[in-house]
Amino acid sequence: MKACLAGPHAQKQYQPRKNKRTPNEWASDFNLAKSLATKAVLITNGRGADIPIGEGPFKVTLEFDDLLEIEQLFNRISNETEAIVAELWPAIAHVAEELLSRRTLFEDEVDALIDASRRAQNRMASTHRARYPR
């Protein structure tokens, strides 16, 4: 679910929207995350034996308690994902900037960019603590 929601949350971080309406280009990500939340709740509650695990459509009758639990799970995961994106934003932006000049980045290159971004963040935090001790 977090993988589905990370892109929309990164877009929101990069370009905040004035209204709360979900943009059309994010609809499939949110729908897939909702579907996964539904499957997770049903499987956890012992009702998921006939539910396909892949991305395919499925039909199931949901009770009010199911809907409430699905919404709570989706919101919790969405909030966690938003916090992760905010925490990692400097690294995300660093990788995105690099992708503007290069068509492909390999895993080790992405890891190196993230590490460099984290080291820079840690240096800034150390400098701040040295200048403004508590």
Q: Distance (Å, rounded) from C-alpha 1 to C-alpha 55?
A: 12
**84-107 confidence digits (pLDDT tens):** 999 889 889 989 899 999 889 999
d(CA 97, CA 92): 9
**Number of other CB atoms surrounding residue 71 within 10 Å:** 13
pTM (whole model) above 0.85: no
Residue 23 has what pLDDT?
Answer: 77
Query: Does 128 or 75 have the greater pLDDT score?
Result: 75
Mean pLDDT of 126-130: 61
Quote the pLDDT of residue 81.
96
Q: How confident is the model at residue 118 (pLDDT cuts 50, 70, 90)?
A: confident
Amino acid at 10: A
CA atoms of 39 and 45, how far apart (whole Å):
10
What is the average pLDDT value for the chain, to the nearest integer?
A: 85
What residues make up the domain containing 57? 2-131
57-87 tens-digit pLDDT: 767 788 899 999 999 999 999 999 999 999 8
Residue in the structure block whose two tokens are 């905040």? 16
Quick one: 34 exposed, middle or buried, by C-beta within 10 A (0-12, 13-18, 19+)? middle
**Count of domains for the chain:** 1
